[in-house]
Amino acid sequence: MKKIWGLIGILGMTFFMLAGCGQDKNTAQDASLSAENETPIENSVGLASVINIEDAYYYNDLLTTDAGELYAMTDGTSEEGTDPVLVWKSTDQGKSWEKVIKLPDTISADSYISTGVLQKKNDELSAFVVVSDPEDGTSDSGVSRLLRITEKGSEELNTGDVFEKLGGSAWRITVVNDHVLSIAGIDKCVLYDITQQKELKSLSYDYGRAGFLSMKDQFIVYCDEIKYCLNADTLEEQEPEDGLEQFVEDMWEANAREVFAPMKAWNDTVVCVTRKAIYEYRDGRTVNVLSVPKTVHRGNSFNGMLPVCKGHQNTYYLSVFSAGNTTLWRMEPDLEKETAATSYAPIHKKY
């Protein structure tokens, strides 16, 4: 049952996002890795490897650390007779995995995790998840709860009427800063303080047209352009730099103008994965880093729901949903090949 509802949630939100962002406007913090000793690359040929986790049906979030660790939050499913595991860790770029956080007893077999995000603060790893019970019957969306889960246990946070404002459920959580989360619904997100356990403010956007990017100093809501740019500490609106605005618009072009592409910050760099290539926005300019093999994109555009992150040694991780299954990929430069023969630099178009 948990797999079925999780799949329904993924397919449903993917449909809304494709329907919303597919309408062209002119026609119808996890910056956690150190960039020291990292040699920047450009126009490299991508090599992809499957690094799936046993029993995982889909992936909610990916996180990398200074120590070279890769964490993956799954849906928490497991084979019958074994303890369900929510979070896994790899220290060898996904070649092997070890269990980190088990699924707590506070999440019943009839419930499912609709979305989640990982945060590592003061060496403690936390998984924030929205848990829904579609069979509760008290509302069309069931009852939604926000839980903080660690290796020591879990606690339910008092969200008041947050989920009621979001229509009963949420499809995306993003870490804004050490104590604030963005909890997103289909047409608005609520900025929620996990320390005070209260809503701070809400941001509205067009139906299904919102991706979320948490940077060191800014929190961005975007689609084919930047909708909101907030100071990550004060949560006050501010103007984004021109280069970042252009980057977001270029990524819409590079992703075939079908849906906004997944992005994630890595120190002062923004990473974006499109079906053309992996791009980075660094030092005020857009850089084509790595081509994306056809075995990964299969001719489809990636949407902003997909978890993505960057690791050590110019490795990139992406979870892709296709044909009823999810695949966790590691992409890196193919050292046996020269730079990509085709330039994937997006063309600045005006419509």
* Domains of the chain, first to last: 39-339 (2.120.10.30)
Q: What share of the chain is helix, strand, coil (3-state, %, to 5)?
A: 15, 40, 45
Q: What is the mean pLDDT of each run of 10 residues along the chain (351 residues)?
A: 48 45 42 56 94 90 94 84 88 96 90 94 95 62 86 94 90 95 95 97 90 94 94 97 94 84 90 93 94 90 88 93 84 81 43 34
What is the predicted pLDDT for the residue at 293? 93
CB 214 within 8 A of CB 29: yes
What is the predicted pLDDT for the residue at 32? 40
Three-state DSSP state, 114: strand
What is the predicted pLDDT for the residue at 339? 61
What is the predicted pLDDT for the residue at 139? 46
Q: In which order are the strands placed within the sheet that holds 85-90? A: 59-64, 70-74, 85-90, 98-102
What is the predicted pLDDT for the residue at 60? 95
CB 69 within 8 A of CB 90: yes
Q: What is the pTM of this model?
A: 0.85
Q: Which of 141, 245, 218 is nearest to 186 (CA)?
A: 141
What is the predicted pLDDT for the residue at 36? 52
